[in-house]
Structure 1
Amino acid sequence: MPDEDLPDALSDGGSADAGTDQARNLGDAAARGVSVVLATQALRVALQFGSVVLLARLLTPEDFGLVAMVTAVIGIAEIIRDAGLSSAAVQAAQLSEDERTNLFWANLGLGTACALVIVASEPLIVAGYGEPRIGPIIYSLAFVFMISGANTQYRSDMMRRLKFRQLSTSELSAQFLAIVTAVSLALAGAGLWAIVAQQIVTAAATFLINVANLRWNPGLPKRGVSLRRFFRFGFGVLGTHGLAYLTKSAANVAIGAHLGPAPLGLFNRAYQLLMTPLQQIDAPMTSVALPVLSRVQDDDERFSRYLAKTQLVACYGTSVLLAVAAGVAHPLVLVLFGPDWIGVVPIFVVLAIGGIFRTLSTIAYWIFLARGRTGAQLRMDLFARPVMIALMVGGLPWGVTGVAVGHGIAFFLYWLLAFVNVQRVTGVDVRPLFVTAVRTATLVSAPCGLVAWGLASWLHVWPFFEVVAGVLGAGVYLLLAAAMLPIVRHDLVEAVRIGRRALKR
């Protein structure tokens, strides 16, 4: 096979080491991983959007707000039960069977401990909100963390072995089953318990399917097998993820405590409308990027090339998507949720703009993880995250939209700080990444969003056609920009080329 035909969706096909077996195998694995992600995530996004739309039309903002009150507080247990050990297992150059077994028991123990602490804390959480209706929700969701703890190393093992197809299939199947359960319960009049059941079924089904696929019996814990190196790595990830979660949950807790469940329900739907595409793109792409980047962490040339290609796809994918979504927010909310949820519009517009920078900062996260510098990221976040929380909570006097504005400003500043710090700590030159991001935002994302907003606002027809007109207008602008601006044409062709190479696998 000629070098230029190397099926590496993230390479440029002309590197000097492309002919080696290692490069060929890794390129194939990366391409297969990206291909699986692209194929399955389209289905996951459709399912998740279907869930968001159907449940929003069957339930009330207060239903979502009450559940969000609980998850904003107890959700930190999801970070603790993982303790960064999933990433540590994927990143490790060598992992013995005994270490793998002990990691399983460590995550299960952490998940069980989290469940017991949550149950014991129920009176404090109820008293803190002054809302007795959330007590049964706390008890019901607590033991989800035991299931997730048991699943942690099954999922990590499939990531480590680059079994992206099996991993995607299990998560897609579990999501489908959970959505069917939730919608059925909502139609039966179960109210907020439809949302609770969706979370329980997702965790349980994912675990059972992963066990069936992997056919791994961890056995009993192994004495004399140390996990110190994994906990050392995981501590930085735990701290970073914990601070990120506190940043997210602080807004929910503040809104729920000061404004009540109904405003929190509006914020929650706007946030879910933002995070549905982001979670279905960012998390799986991390599952592909982390093991691949970890294997080339000592090859600066290939490492930088993979980063550049991945970010280009993100800029022409996620960033443009969010900008256009913000532009057509008003008719989009009417189509998806109906007129009762019109209060979501200004919140979503601001969150979507901030979400662009949230996505771009993920690149820095990948670099920290792949280079094993989780401690450095934690030290950065110990300074940055409290400032971000202050910016979000500081918007409370202006209501839910004020909190959303603080959210957007916080993630813009975090993106700048993360890029500066990751270059200082790891030595990776991020200037090309920064230039690409700024160029795409000014020449592509922002104009596409403005064109979509202009057309959607100008038309006064059925909201669905306003959304379609806005999206088509943004597409026409993108084609004109590619025709008139060589740099945009080059970037767009490169992004399409990477996607096509991935799909061929």
Structure 2
Amino acid sequence: MTGSTDQAEGPEQVDKEALKHASVVGALFNALASLSQAAVGLITLVVLSRLISPSSYGVYAIAAVVLAFGELARDFGLGTASLVEKRLSEGQRSNLFWVNLGTGLVVALVVIGSAPYMARSMHMPALTSVLPVCGLVFILNGCASQFEVSLKRRYRYAYIAKVNLAGLLVSFVSALLLALAGAQYWALVLQTLLGNVISAVGIIVAAGWRPGRYRRDVPVRHLLTQGLHFLGNAAIALVTSNLGTLIIGHGLGAAQVGVYNRANQLVRVPVSQLMNPISSVVGPSLSRLQDDENGFSGYLQKAQALIAYPAGLVAATVAGLAPWAVPLVLGGRWTGAASVVTILSISAIAQAANQAPTWVLWSHGYAKQLARLSLLNAVITLSCVALGATRGMTGVAWGYAVASILTWPIAALGARHVSGFNIWPGTVIALRMVAVTALCGAASGLVGAAVPGPDVWHVLAGGLASVALFAVLAWVVRPVRRDVQVAIDIIRRR
């Protein structure tokens, strides 16, 4: 297929049953693939943390921040704008392809040129050679961006998940071999590059679409404008989530950044692998239900329950088990990360509870309003983190935790004010999740502390206690049982 036609992708009328089937199957397969990715990610965390030093992880952590910002600029918000567009013509997709490729090239050149400055600013000379290699990622992803959009608009999440998993496995094996050979931070950099190469090639081959030439007569200005709003929103979120890493890197050095990065990964790997696949399906599905208030409301509540309870339970359990999980998973040299893991888990629970406001604004196309709300949340977060930074790495973690709690009601009220949509039912579900998972996390810590023996026994006993208490609460407490049933319904219904 070429980009020579302007035939729009996607029908005007939404087949609700087909949409539910496609979105549920996509979410389920994404969840299964995500669990596999989480398993590989955990193995990577366990193995490489024993082979690579904290200072090398610190260098890679700063490079990863640059990668994240560069990817955001490279995408320019067009991936999101393309997904929420009801009808996207072949000509528009071709034009967006060339825009994405062009921004990828520009960002790569900027990163290469700024490498010496970043090395001096962070007192990490290794960044001078690491960042230019990372610049190749932007060109690869610039090529693949609209191909991935094409697959997502056809709900081919299963294939995308397979390709990403394959890239993760191959890149891990490569990183392991390099680490065994003493490569240190280069093992991590090349792992990222190889994973992106495999994903990009796999997505381009399977999309069944080829871009045509750029056409001036095909309008994409409204998509660029909408993408710019999404870009602003995502940029604000990225700044707030990575500020701690930059502050620690600039003030405390590579080793402390490495410790903070491993603590953050120990929390984020399991939680994000649960949340991301569901969110990636929920957003586009809600955007197609925006004209059906009842259908939108019902789907939103189910999605909130489906994402909040598993992610909250995992985060709370990790918080309770941190004193034993950190040395067990990362090794003895990382014991200083335990307190940071516990604090960051609080932030993860609050974020799992705060998904509905973003979904509502995103799916209705309120990109500008979402960016404004994100800016307000960012000011609160940056203030909390800046105050916490005076207390070092632990203070930064507390800054994030406090900010996540404060911004939750602000996001809910803001979404209600902008959209007029009643998100209170979803908020109630999230509040119950917080109460239930907090009890489960406390149980995991108490039982883990009471069990004698090596770290593995503490973790197993505490983890089982957390799951068992959740099962009891879900059976005995009627509202919790109803929430869990709502989550199960979205899985069972076809």
TM-score under structure 1 length normalisation: 0.92
CA distance in 2 between counterparts of 1:278 and 1:451 reads 19
CA distance in 2 between counterparts of 1:497 and 1:217 reads 39
Structure 2 equivalent of residue 491 of structure 1 = 483
Amino acid in structure 2 at the alignment position of 1:453: G
Alignment of 1:152-163 (within 5 A): 152-163=145-156
Contact 1:147–1:207, Cα closer than 8 Å, also in 2: yes
Structure 1 equivalent of residue 437 of structure 2 = 445
Structure 2 equivalent of residue 55 of structure 1 = 48
Structure 2 equivalent of residue 306 of structure 1 = 299
Structure 1 equivalent of residue 385 of structure 2 = 392
> What SS is found at the alignment partner of 2:50?
helix
Structure 1 equivalent of residue 118 of structure 2 = 125
Alpha-carbon offset, residue 456 of structure 1? 0.7
Question: Does residue 102 of structure 1 match 2:95?
Answer: yes
Question: Does residue 211 of structure 1 match 2:201?
Answer: no
Contact 2:35–2:274, Cα closer than 8 Å, also in 1: no
Question: Identity of aligned pairs, percent?
Answer: 30
> What SS is found at the alignment partner of 1:296?
coil
> What SS is found at the alignment partner of 2:167?
helix
Contact 2:27–2:281, Cα closer than 8 Å, also in 1: yes
Amino acid in structure 1 at the alignment position of 2:165: L
Alpha-carbon offset, residue 490 of structure 1? 2.2
Structure 1 equivalent of residue 10 of structure 2 = none
Question: Does residue 401 of structure 1 match 2:404?
Answer: no
CA distance in 1 between counterparts of 2:454 and 2:128 reads 42
Question: Does residue 284 of structure 1 match 2:289?
Answer: no
Provide, for residues 384-419 of structure 1, a one-character-per-residue CA deviation record: whole Å limited to 9, x for no partner. 213211211221221111100001111112222111
CA distance in 2 between counterparts of 1:328 and 1:307 reads 32
Q: 2:239 aligns with which of 235, 240, 246?
A: 246
Contact 1:72–1:250, Cα closer than 8 Å, also in 2: no
Alpha-carbon offset, residue 74 of structure 1? 4.8
CA distance in 1 between counterparts of 2:471 and 2:124 reads 53
Alpha-carbon offset, residue 313 of structure 1? 1.3
Structure 2 equivalent of residue 5 of structure 1 = none
Contact 1:40–1:168, Cα closer than 8 Å, also in 2: yes
Alignment of 1:409-448 (within 5 A): 409-442=402-435, 444-448=436-440
Amino acid in structure 1 at the alignment position of 2:265: Q
Provide, for residues 336-393 of structure 1, a one-character-per-residue CA deviation record: whole Å limited to 9, x for no partner. 1111111110001000111111222232222111100010011122222132112112
Structure 2 equivalent of residue 478 of structure 1 = 470
Moved more, 448-457 or 463-472: 463-472
Alpha-carbon offset, residue 99 of structure 1? 0.5
TM-score under structure 2 length normalisation: 0.94
Provide, for residues 220-239 of structure 1, a one-character-per-residue CA deviation record: whole Å limited to 9, x for no partner. 22232121111121111100
Structure 1 equivalent of residue 175 of structure 2 = 182
Contact 1:452–1:471, Cα closer than 8 Å, also in 2: yes
Structure 1 equivalent of residue 363 of structure 2 = 370
Amino acid in structure 1 at the alignment position of 2:92: E
Amino acid in structure 1 at the alignment position of 2:75: D
Alpha-carbon offset, residue 211 of structure 1? 1.3
Q: 2:38 aligns with which of 45, 55, 79?
A: 45
Question: Does residue 230 of structure 1 match 2:223?
Answer: yes
Structure 1 residues 268 and 63: CA distance shift in structure 2, 3 A:
same
Q: 2:329 aligns with which of 333, 336, 341?
A: 336
CA distance in 1 between counterparts of 2:88 and 2:144 reads 18
CA distance in 1 between counterparts of 2:258 and 2:120 reads 20
Question: Does residue 469 of structure 1 match 2:461?
Answer: yes
| Deviant stretches of 4+, over 4 Å | none
Provide, for residues 145-181 of structure 1, a one-character-per-residue CA deviation record: whole Å limited to 9, x for no partner. 1111111111111111111111111111111111111
CA distance in 2 between counterparts of 1:460 and 1:62 reads 33
Structure 1 equivalent of residue 265 of structure 2 = 272
CA distance in 2 between counterparts of 1:493 and 1:70 reads 43
> What SS is found at the alignment partner of 1:203?
helix
Contact 2:91–2:212, Cα closer than 8 Å, also in 1: no
Moved more, 115-124 or 477-486: 477-486
Amino acid in structure 2 at the alignment position of 1:55: L
Contact 1:159–1:287, Cα closer than 8 Å, also in 2: no
Gap regions ≥5 residues in structure 2: 1-12
Contact 1:45–1:280, Cα closer than 8 Å, also in 2: yes
Question: Does residue 114 of structure 1 match 2:102?
Answer: no
> What SS is found at the alignment partner of 1:121?
helix
Alpha-carbon offset, residue 69 of structure 1? 2.2
Structure 2 equivalent of residue 10 of structure 1 = none
CA distance in 1 between counterparts of 2:254 and 2:101 reads 33
Amino acid in structure 2 at the alignment position of 1:252: T
CA distance in 2 between counterparts of 1:221 and 1:21 reads 30
Gap regions ≥5 residues in structure 1: 1-19
CA distance in 2 between counterparts of 1:480 and 1:276 reads 27
Question: Does residue 351 of structure 1 match 2:341?
Answer: no
> What SS is found at the alignment partner of 2:126?
helix
CA distance in 2 between counterparts of 1:38 and 1:131 reads 38
Structure 1 equivalent of residue 3 of structure 2 = none
Moved more, 142-151 or 234-243: 142-151
Structure 2 equivalent of residue 14 of structure 1 = none
> What SS is found at the alignment partner of 2:391?
helix
Alpha-carbon offset, residue 21 of structure 1? 8.4
Computed over aligned residues only, the root mean square deviation of the Cα atoms, in angstroms, reads 1.6
Alpha-carbon offset, residue 240 of structure 1? 0.6
Alpha-carbon offset, residue 200 of structure 1? 0.4
CA distance in 1 between counterparts of 2:312 and 2:303 reads 13
Contact 2:171–2:191, Cα closer than 8 Å, also in 1: yes
Structure 1 residues 88 and 441: CA distance shift in structure 2, 3 A:
same
Contact 1:73–1:249, Cα closer than 8 Å, also in 2: no
Amino acid in structure 2 at the alignment position of 1:201: L
CA distance in 1 between counterparts of 2:251 and 2:326 reads 25
CA distance in 2 between counterparts of 1:346 and 1:378 reads 32
